[in-house]
Structures are given as structure tokens and as C-alpha cells.
Chains A and B, each alone.
Chain A
Amino acid sequence: MAGVTTGKRARARPLSPHLQIYRPMINMVMSILHRITGAALYVGTLLLAWWLLAAATGPSYFDFVNGLFSTWFGMIVLLGYSWALIHHLLGGVRHFIWDTGAGFDIGTVDLLGWATIVLSVLLTAALWIFIGCQRGWFSAWL
């Protein structure tokens, strides 16, 4: 307890299991990722607000910001932002399913966890393939 520790500990106190003790399980990893993606999306709103602000400012500043977003670094950030959004959205759907009281048996919990991560990756890939097709990234191969 804070404030009452003395210089010498009599003996090692028992600890309850915590993050470094538990073997990672899909449900626990998805729960942690839901919070991390949520926090990342919080910061990511700066990108959305910046893009809207740039568009509202004028053509030259809009082109400048679009140019930054089109760099490799910019696109990696946007790729992460889009994945975080899709993952957090799917995680939310999973929580809505649980809110109805359904899907609490171990098998369904594991299935929903795996579905969240697999679908989030597939949907993010689909989104960027769509963007790539629109912008002609694959025209050399098609």
C-alpha cells in the first residue's frame, strides 16, 4: 500500500496473476487491442480534423496536406489509422453481441475474437486495394 511501506520487506508477498503471468488468449488480446485502437483513434482524429481544416483553408494548403498524406510515411500512418478504425468497429460489434447476453460460451468467445482480428485485416486490405485501384497503383500489372 502506498505510503505505508517500510525500508525492509519481511517476506515476498503473494501476488495475484497479472498480464505477465497469464498465457495470452485471443479474448484477452482482442480486449487489449480494443483499448489500444480506441486510444489510437483518439489521436487519429487529428488527421481527420487536419484534412478537413486544410480543405476549408484553400487549394494550396489542401494540396500540401494531401501531398504529405500521399508520402510513404503518410500512407503507412493512414493504413494504421484505417485498420485501427475497422478493428475497433468490429470489436464494438462483438460487444453489442455480448450486450444481448449471447455468445458467452468459450467456443463463441474464441470464435468472435478470431473473427475480429481476421476480418479487420481482410477489410483493411480490401479498402486499400479499392484505393489502389482508384489511384492506378496496380495499372502496371493489370
Chain B
Amino acid sequence: MITPLKRARGLGSAHEGADHFLKQRITGAANAILAAFAVGLIATLAGADLATVKATLAHPLVAAALLALIVSMCVHMRIGMQVIIEDYVHGDGLKVLLLLGNNLFAGAIAAVSIFAVLKLSFGG
């Protein structure tokens, strides 16, 4: 006999199961490594002129690491802020608005940062 339990099992009330839990840990582990690299990179570039910054980002591995960090970071912070909003905002209208804004913010940060890194890396 098939009951609705089959559809719900392992997915919980939000029907996403452990999706966010796993994503937050995978991106968190990636962030730990990539952010440590980025902090070191930015600390050495502090106060450097644009030519030096461009020359540093011209290396494919440096640019790739920064792009990976931006994607991983934006996924991580989007999930984290969603949890904060769901914890503290209870009015349906405001909550939906803030969740929408959260997605837009994370997407905008990713789009701007990715484009900037690509442009710098390609020497534009």
C-alpha cells in the first residue's frame, strides 16, 4: 500500500530534506579554504596599484579560486540569511519580501563580483 508517507519520508516539513544542511557544510568547507587564500591575497594587495592587481588576477588559478569563492560564499550566505529571516520575521508578507530580497542580494553580489574578476583577469 502506498501512503503519503512515501513522499514525505526524509524530506521534512519544508520538503527539502537535508539539502540546506549539506549545502551549508559543503560551501562552508570550501569557504574556509578559499577565504583563507583570498584574505592572504588581498592582504598582500592592500594599497597596491591597479596594474599589480590586474597582473595578480591574470593568473588563471588565482582568478579561478576567487570565482569559486564568490559562488560558494554567495550560496552559503543566501542560506544563512534565509534561516535568520525565517527565525525572526513572522509576518507572511514581509517574510516573503525579505526572502526575495535575500535572493536578489546574493545574486547581485555574485554577478557583479564574477564579472569584475573575469574582466580584471582577462586584462580589461
Query: Is A127 an interface residue when CB atoms closer than 8 A count as contact?
Result: yes
A56/B120 contact (C-beta < 8 A), A70-B47, A89-B36 known: yes
The prevalent SS among residues of A at the interface is helix
Alpha-carbon separation in the docked complex, A38 to B73 (Å): 11
Number of A-B residue pairs, CB cutoff 8 Å, is 79
User: Which A residues from 33 to 48 make CB contacts under 8 A with B?
Assistant: 35, 38-39, 41-42, 45-46, 48
Query: Is B75 an interface residue when CB atoms closer than 8 A count as contact?
Result: no
Query: Is B39 an interface residue when CB atoms closer than 8 A count as contact?
Result: yes
Interface code B66-85, partner A: CB below 8 Å = 1, 0 otherwise? 00000001100100110010
A135/B47 contact (C-beta < 8 A), A49-B116, A52-B113, A55-B53 known: yes
Contact A41 B77 (CB under 8 A): yes
Q: Across the interface, name the chain A residue whose C-beta is closest to B84.
A: A39
Interface size, B (range): 20 to 34
Alpha-carbon separation in the docked complex, A41 to B44 (Å): 21
Query: Is A59 an interface residue when CB atoms closer than 8 A count as contact?
Result: yes
Cβ of A39: which chain B residues have Cβ within 8 Å of it?
80-81, 84
Alpha-carbon separation in the docked complex, A135 to B48 (Å): 10
CB distance from A58 to the nearest CB of B (A): 8
Residue numbers of B with Cβ under 8 A of A are 25, 28-29, 31-32, 35-36, 39, 43-44, 46-47, 49-50, 53-54, 73-74, 77, 80-81, 84, 105, 109, 112-113, 115-117, 119-120, 124
List 10 A–B pairs whose Cβ atoms lie within 8 Å, in order of A's numbering: A41-B77, A42-B105, A52-B112, A55-B53, A56-B119, A56-B120, A62-B53, A92-B28, A92-B32, A134-B43
